[in-house]
Amino acid sequence: MAFAAKIPSAWASMKLDRNPTFSRSPTIRAAQLIAILCVVGYLLSLPLVALLGPLFSPQVEIKIPGPGEDAIKHFAGSRDCGILHSDIYLAPLPLNPRVSPFCKNRASLLEALSSGGRHGFDEPYVGKGENISSRIVGLPFMSLGCTYRWFSTPEICMILERFNAIVFVGDTTAQTIYTALNILLREDLAFGGLQQWLMNEQDRAACKCENQFINGDCLAYTLKSIEEVKKNRRESPYFCERVPHTYLRVDSTPASLTAQNTFKDLTFGHPNPWKPSPVILSFSHSFDLSTTTRVLDEWAALATAAERNVPMLYLGPQAVSLNKVGRDGNAAVWKFQEEMMEPAKQRQFDLLGLWNLTLQASSKDGEKYGEKVALVQAMMIINWLSMLEIS
């Protein structure tokens, strides 16, 4: 019995004497060493992965709307006005599927749009493209061009939501672009830039589609403010109602008190001083450098007085149609645009040239361009707005 009783106690003492810490230490140390080696190996492999990764990773293509897609087909009046998306916008085809053809910043965007062109009279306008001849001979200093996006209405709304207010100021060029902006926001090619609720049937027939821009009798019905549309929602649907925008006619300096006060009401009172309130200004009366410079001074001073973030864009003059003045007449327009570049930059204005855009576009009277040109101009402004910095 005594021997039987000692067996469990001896077995217990044997179990207690076996210290698990010492018996398993080689295994734990080996596992720790393996883990350390794995971490070090991973860290050392990172540069190699960065270098060789593109060789084995799948190609990532930039998604671009195809030429068969029509972004404005659903707009009211698209059939009556006879405007297709392919008439006004050429979807870019990137040479490198990994490189976007769209401009990455404001400077490259404004340069590309001011220096772009058409592949034929009334063909879609494209941003400044690649110098193909330089690419063929392989010059290392060749620069690639870029172009602009065509945003859908929901995307335009998202862009506008970034701002306190948007103000178009100046002559008929600014008014035309503002009219086209309202066409995009109302998705109505036939009457989107007009207060059609004020028009009778005869007026509507006379001002429909293209005539919104080329019939002088229709100017009385053009929209001047978002508020005019919001008061008449039943007559026409409208998008992006939360951000105020307006057009202020300015054809002299100093501007009228009405224009100044409207600008102050839209920009001075917002609580967030860093949220932008962009100004788009066009003034090219008689191509007078001195007068135009004073206009820039006046609106730059107003923007400074607002003590707010007020980005400013100056629109260069449109070309005069070749069937009216010929190439010599357009030389004066080009000269004025070139002379205005430095004064605009000195006053913190961005500059968008419209000469190239309108040079090969049709104009019945040599000065007014139609709906297609205006829609492109409005989309160019929207691209500029999309690249403004916000806080």
Write out pLDDT tens, residues 236-268: 677 788 899 999 999 999 999 999 999 999 998
Mean pLDDT value across residues 65-93: 84
Query: Considering only 125-129, 189-193, 248-252, which range has the smallest mean pLDDT?
Result: 125-129
Hey, which of 25-29, 303-307, 358-362, 380-384 has the most confident mean pLDDT? 380-384
Question: Taking the domain 153-386, which CATH number applies?
Answer: 3.40.50.1110
Counting Cβ atoms within 10 Å, is residue 286 exposed (0-12), middle (13-18) or buried (19+)? Answer: exposed
* pLDDT (0 to 100) of residue 1: 42
3: pLDDT strictly greater than 70: no
The whole-angstrom distance between residue 87's C-alpha and the CA centroid of its chain comes to: 20
**Nearest C-alpha neighbor of 73 from the set 160, 21, 1, 150:** 150
CB atoms within 10 A of CB 79: 11
Rounded Cα distance, 6 and 132, in Å:
99
* pLDDT (0 to 100) of residue 30: 67
Domains of the chain: which residue ranges? 23-57, 153-386
Question: Residues, the chain, total?
Answer: 391
Hey, which of 69-78, 82-91, 357-366 has the most confident mean pLDDT? 82-91
Residue at token pair 């870019």: 92
Tokens of 112: 């590309």
296: pLDDT strictly greater than 60: yes
Write out pLDDT tens, residues 135-166: 333 333 334 579 999 999 999 999 999 999 99
Mean pLDDT value across residues 363-371: 85
58: pLDDT strictly greater than 50: no
323: pLDDT strictly greater than 70: no
Mean pLDDT value across residues 264-287: 89
Query: Considering only 43-47, 188-192, 218-222, which range has the smallest mean pLDDT?
Result: 43-47
**76 residue type, one letter:** A
